[in-house]
Amino acid sequence: MNEKDLYNSLSGDNLPVYFLCGQERYPIDKAIQIVKDSLNPNFRELNFTLIDSENETDIDNMVSCCESIPFMDTKRVIVVKNSDLFQTTNKSQSKEQMQKIINYLDSPCNTTVVIFAPMQVDKRSELYKFMKKKYDIYQSDKLDKVKFSSWVSDKFKSKNVIIDSHSKEYFIQKSGYLFKDSEITLLDVESEIDKICLNSNNNNNIVSVIDIEKVSSTVNDNDVFKFIDYVFAGDFRNSHSMLYNILDVQKNAILLLSLLGRQLSLLIKIYILTKEKCSNDTISKMLMLHPFVVKKCNLQLKKYSYKELLDLYNLCSDMDYRIKKGQIRENIGIEVIVSRICRNKK
């Protein structure tokens, strides 16, 4: 199922069950909003249920909601964002409980639209295999350069703003969306476009590089590399100085957190391979890294023990989860991680 077919289905004759997954949440959130808007506005809140919690899914309650008759409307909508149902390591749900879901999905109510939109999916899980066999799956991945360029053009056009190819390419680079391991989403990019378009009203609705420079934020590759180097060198003062400078421009701590996590993961891999007596050249080929990068990582490894690296990596993962769940502010979270990495320097 492609994006256009998904939106048409949700706004017209709904299917009883949808399965939406993938890294790029923008089209998934849009799909959920489309079907929510299709409900009778007078009774929308009574006929729309969102299941999105940190705890395991209450399957009995979920199935009960699905089987309930809509109130003063032709349908009710149940959105399930919990990921625990699609994990092979899930031990909180018994086989009997999981079978309850499968039994319902095998013969769903025609007055209920159930949308599964988990953040994470294990394709080996029983429920995923059932969904793949029974229903179409909409996979929403990050856009490649060609599709992203087309998406940006459409967004500017929809706002009646003119942008030439040179300015558009400049904006794409400034957005940071296509950076490797970037956590920037289409929603973030759309927000930047909205600000630029608002500013263009004073310039005959024509966007120039100057307009983009005034409004759009970016992370400079060189600055990020320097920041990572300072952090893993244990340079507390320069690390925090560069952190605040980057956040002042980019305002996206999640991106920096993901890069720190990636570096920790890389150090752990190189540590293990080094203990296996692999040479730098072998490690370089196995991990597809430039020899200089491996050499620099080996210098960083002298400052941290294996246990410290594992603890810091787990801390990064936990902080990422807490930030995305709204339990801690982004800037505070990244400051804690940077301070811990610097402090753990031998």
Per-residue pLDDT band for 185 (boundaries 50, 70, 90) equals: confident
The most confident of the ranges 48-62, 157-171, 200-214 is 157-171
Q: Is CATH 1.10.10.10 correct for 221-343?
A: no
Give exposure, 212-222, as e/b (b: 16+ Cβ within 10 Å): beebbbbbeee
Task: Name residue 301's amino acid.
Answer: L
Task: Enter the pTM of the model.
Answer: 0.60
What is the Cα–Cα distance from 141 to 120, expressed in whole angstroms?
12
- The overall average pLDDT reported for the chain is 86
For residue 93, the 8-state DSSP code is S
End-to-end Cα distance, the chain: 52
Q: What is the CATH topology of the domain spanning 145-215?
A: Helicase, Ruva Protein; domain 3 (1.10.8)
Looking at domain 3-139, does it have CATH number 3.30.1330.50?
no
Instruction: Render pLDDT for 116-126 as a digit per residue (tens, 0 to 9).
Output: 998 888 888 88
Q: Where are the domains of the chain?
A: 3-139, 145-215, 221-343
Length of the chain as a residue count: 346
Q: Which residues pair with 20 in a beta bridge?
A: 138
Beta carbons within 8 Å of 123's beta carbon, 6+ residues apart: 129, 132
Range of 49-58, 61-70, 291-300 with top mean pLDDT: 61-70
Which residues are paired to 112 by β-bridges?
76
